[in-house]
Structure 1
Amino acid sequence: MKRALAGLAAVTAMTLTACGGSADPLSNASTTTGTPAPAGTITVGSANFPESTLLAEIYALALEDKGVTVNRKLNIGSRETYYPGLQDGSIDLIPEYTGVLLNHVSAAAGATESEAVYTALQSALPPELTVLEKSAAENKDAVVVTRATADERGLKTIADLAKSDDVVFGGPPEFQQRPDGIPGLQEKYGLKIKEYKSLDVGGPLTVDALKTGAVTAADLFTTDPAIEANDFVVLEDPEANFAAQNVVPLINKSKATPEVTEVLNAISAKLTTETLIELNSKLNAPDKPDAAKVAREWLTSVGL
């Protein structure tokens, strides 16, 4: 996954657990439950990593530009934490990823290709929720190792890693239990885990654990500039443990008015995987810009 990104030589880690400067420091399930916003207001949420916060700001700013009143509940936590808020109406809109969301609502769905995942997701969601048009932008979970580990062990695929019986794996706590996390890797590849280290959501703890050899392999996002900056190796996934993960707006149906739908679909039409990588790089610049600033600059640059 070599991508030429200017200025990444100095990047040591993508701080994926930090929220954007405008995010509310919400971190537990109690923040995702409560009274639904009024009919004319949309509460926009995000998960607890900068790409999610950035996408939420893109949604929020674009809606505000069209006169929609927006509340923000950013940096909430993992899907297991924020999804109940979508169901009870205390969160109306959140940027999501098709494959992992499908696994969350229907682990037995089995779809892996982009269109099949999106179609299955539309059918699997509860009646109060819907997804709007998916974008071409994709950010997948990936099993990542250092170049030295890949060379030493002859690793190209996750199946190669499964030949070892001494694997120390690092990732967010929820990855140990999610269907496409360790359980999926064990089922599809027979991966043997000597130890699992709960770290962060692809953030500095995970990157440092790989760099120092504290873990053999780790879960990182494919749009994380730290992969190229550190010459990490993304192991191929021939059994498609990780389904397609296109960015998509997940929204309460009652708030998906024609105006709101038009705004969000226009955003999805402009988002690409390369865009995500570039925006993540900007978020990790030395001056650590506010997510809302990066979001505004992108919206302006694409005429939104």
Structure 2
Amino acid sequence: MNIEYIQPEGRIVKIRKRFSRSGLVVTAAAFVLIASACGVVPSTNAKDFVGGSIKPISQLKDASLTVSSKEYDEQLVLSQIAITALQAAGANVKDKTGLQGTGTVRKALTSGQADLYWEYTGSAWFEILGQTETHPGRELYKKVSDMDLTTNKISWLAAAPMNDTYAVAVTKTFSEQTGIKSISDMAAYVEKNPAAGTMCVENEFLQRPDGLSGMKEKYGIQNIETKLMGVSVVYTQLAAGNTCNFGDIYSTDGRIVGLNLIPLQDDKEFFPSYNPAVTLRQETLQKYPEIKGLLDPIVAKLDDKTITALNAQAADGMKPRTIAVNWLKSNGFIG
């Protein structure tokens, strides 16, 4: 498969690459990222957060827990929310966030290098568990959590109401010029204008059955020229309007508004639900069952509007730790 890879500085390099269907191949070079990820979060204890609804939990006092995450803003913000809450309850938390890709962070969890991280129902169902059929959001969560526990001894806490699913976006200008509002409109347009079917994509969207290949099949799209780049670069290159007319995005990303991007309506309802939940090894939850009671009330408040606003703060340059602390304070979880 011939694709273009656009590096962060915009230089285009022609490459030929064979991707695994599951996207879970983790090379030694990738896994070393675990060792080089962020270090310990600055020392914080429950006394620093007096006045909120989170109280010190005796069973978590001095518990040593490592929190991990994937590399993009939303994952970094969610992980800092969990880190701060655990610290407020009295745990000692090591920050191993910012690992690249689902396979790497999942390997950190299953190998014991991390104790918990946020995963998405859709990512787990298709990429980790290797399933292909789609299900409604609540049903998907039950199937994922049941299968992961039975097969892999990975426990899922409650899923957040937010749904960070895939979407296809165009610039506001391009939408107004072409009248494209939906993915069906996109399919019709590129059929008539093959040269205009340029699409900026990140690695996982290119690999996964719930990504580009499945979308093309669902909508009958033929004329797509993909340009492979990092997650963040997709947004900037799409907004610039020179490299591609279409791009894959995350539906709750804070950059959508700031960059004047228009998510296209998924009028055939192809993209599955991606509700995030904290995942941890069964043995960890059995040792510290109080983690569920601590995090579930926080998770319940993370809807689409909330996470999009938090993501926008990250896109504007605010540190994920600051975002997490401010949000937990504003919702009364910490003082």
TM-score w.r.t. structure 1 length? 0.82
Aligned equivalent of 1:145:
170
Q: Residue 210 of structure 1 contacts residue 217 of structure 1 at CA under 8 Å; is this kept in 2?
A: no
1:232 to 248, 261, 269: 261
1:179 to 197, 209, 221: 209
Across the aligned residues of Structure 1 and Structure 2, the Cα RMSD in angstroms comes to 2.3
Deviation at 1:133, TM superposition (A): 0.5
CA contact (8 A) 2:200 2:234 kept: no
Give the C-alpha shift of residue 252 in structure 1.
1.4
Change (3 A) 1:302 1:29: same
Describe how 1:86-235 pairs up with structure 2 within 5 A.
86-125=109-148, 126-163=151-188, 164=190, 165-166=194-195, 167-201=197-231, 203-235=232-264
Q: 86-95 or 44-53, which moves further after superposition?
A: 86-95
What secondary structure, in the 3-state scheme, does the structure 2 residue paired with 1:184 have?
helix
Structure 1 position 205, deviation (Å) = 4.6
Distance 1:154 1:279 in 2: 31
Residue 330 of structure 2 is matched in structure 1 by: 301
**Which structure: larger Rg?**
2
Per-residue CA deviation, residues 51-100 of structure 1 (Å, 9 max, x unaligned), is 10111011011011111221111110111222222222212211122222
SS at match of 2:300: helix
Higher normalized helix content (fraction of residues): 2
Query: Which residues in structure 2 correspond to 1:256-271 (within 5 Å)?
Result: 256=285, 257-271=288-302
| Partner SS state of residue 159, structure 2 | coil
Task: Measure, in 2, the Cα distance between the counterparts of 1:173 and 1:303.
Answer: 38
In the comparison of the two structures, how many residue pairs are matched? Answer: 272
Q: 2-side partners of 1:266 and 1:103: how far apart?
A: 27
Misfit runs of 4+, over 6 Å: none
The answer to whether the 8 A contact 1:107-1:179 is kept is no
Distance in structure 1 (CA, Å) of the matches to 2:135 and 2:168: 17
The 1:51–1:87 alpha-carbon spacing in structure 2 relative to 1, beyond 3 Å, is: same
**Inter-CA distance 60–102: structure 2 relative to 1 (3 Å threshold):** same
**Does structure 1 residue 82 correspond to structure 2 residue 105?**
yes
Offset, 1:193: 4.3
